[in-house]
Structure 1
């Protein structure tokens, strides 16, 4: 299974198990935990940076803002299918999302420039910029997002349709309908319940 940093970042918004939505980046501790868990896939984008050590409130706010841009572009990428239910009220326009990713990525010496024109495939270019530890981390995440939405995995990106799930996933095979088996089980149980109550 491929590891995608942008998909992992989008996945920090998830179902909380009680019918609501949980945010794994709700506080600095959550950000540090997520960075520690994703240190290896982040390395191509951040180099030798001690990513958990960069976690502070300012970095957390910047990562959350970037995540919103990523999820907004994911919502565009899964069209004509519906976006994740967690995003319906908070999506940026595609241009706002692209601008946020480009501006964030510009803080690294070599950064991507994402172009997403209506009715055209996204393209990726490069430009230079300045850096420090916090900017290097957030810019690295932006670069990962730009590479994802311009790469081949974007064509297989889906919003999980299971009840209460709010995740995006990359389809590993054409028949895969849910992000994980437990979502498939939940969807089957919900369909069975609906059939049973309709027969009464």
Structure 2
């Protein structure tokens, strides 16, 4: 039954490295872990399978819990490292939701050790040349390597300047500010901010 599990992590169409950083969700105002066991990790990888396939030809749509193995721990460790680096890059004022003791050198070491995927030129006889990433190990382990490689490109590229923490109440997510008027990770967070502002104005009016 676990193979049919649906991920609880929000998927907002962000770069894969940001989607991994966002593997938390709100439940009654409390931040919850979306990669809490192997089944949850397998469900998240299946949820982003089309994007992994597009970048690397990975076929993990039917990835089972028992195929995740050591990649589950590596994926969570990479997620924590990426959040630590993103927090520093964006001057994130929010308290960390995971690994508060993780220092930048340790986070960098995790990222660089994980980013073992490499690009190759693929040129089928009946098709156009294209870049595909290659890696080692199981499909799940390769997925970790690919996401780490993409995180290096994100943090060292132009999107670094557009990376933002979502400052809506209790939101733990990051997003890439892809247009000038975007302030929040999602419309739902924008609505929560407006409701909170309305409540504060209403309370202030009652106290006058």
Does the 8 Å contact 1:68/1:91 carry over to 2? no
Distance 2:101 2:51 in 1: 26
Q: Is the 8 A contact 2:23 2:35 kept in 1?
A: yes
Q: TM-score, normalised by structure 2?
A: 0.75
CA-to-aligned-CA distance 1:124-149 (integer Å, 9 cap, x gap): xxxxx982114322211211211111
Question: Highest Rg: 1 or 2?
Answer: 2
Of stretches 184-193 and 84-93 in structure 1, the one that deviates more from structure 2 is 84-93
- Matching of residue 22 in structure 1 with residue 32 in structure 2: yes
1-structure distance, mates of 2:174, 2:80? 13
Give distance in 1, aligned partners of 2:46 and 2:85: 25
Report how many residues are paired.
178
For the 8 Å contact 1:12–1:25, the answer to whether it is kept is yes
Counterpart pick for 2:71 among 21, 34, 59? 59
Q: CA deviation at 1:64?
A: 0.2
Superposed displacement of residue 69, structure 1: 0.6
Which of 156, 174, 180 is 2:180 aligned to? 174
Counterparts of 1:149-164 in structure 2 under 5 Å?
149-164=155-170
Tell me, which stretches of 5 or more residues in structure 2 are unaligned?
A: 1-11, 120-133
Instruction: State the superposition RMSD in angstroms.
Output: 2.5
Per the alignment, in what secondary structure is the counterpart of residue 53 of structure 1?
coil
Q: Distance in 2 between matches of 1:78 and 1:50?
A: 32
Give the aligned partner of residue 115 of structure 2. 105
Q: Which residue of 2 aligns with 1:39?
A: 49
Q: Which runs of 5+ in 1 are unaligned?
A: 112-128
Distance of aligned partners of 1:19 and 1:60 in 2 relative to their CA distance in 1, 3 Å threshold: same
Partners of 2:23 and 2:13 lie apart in 1 by 17
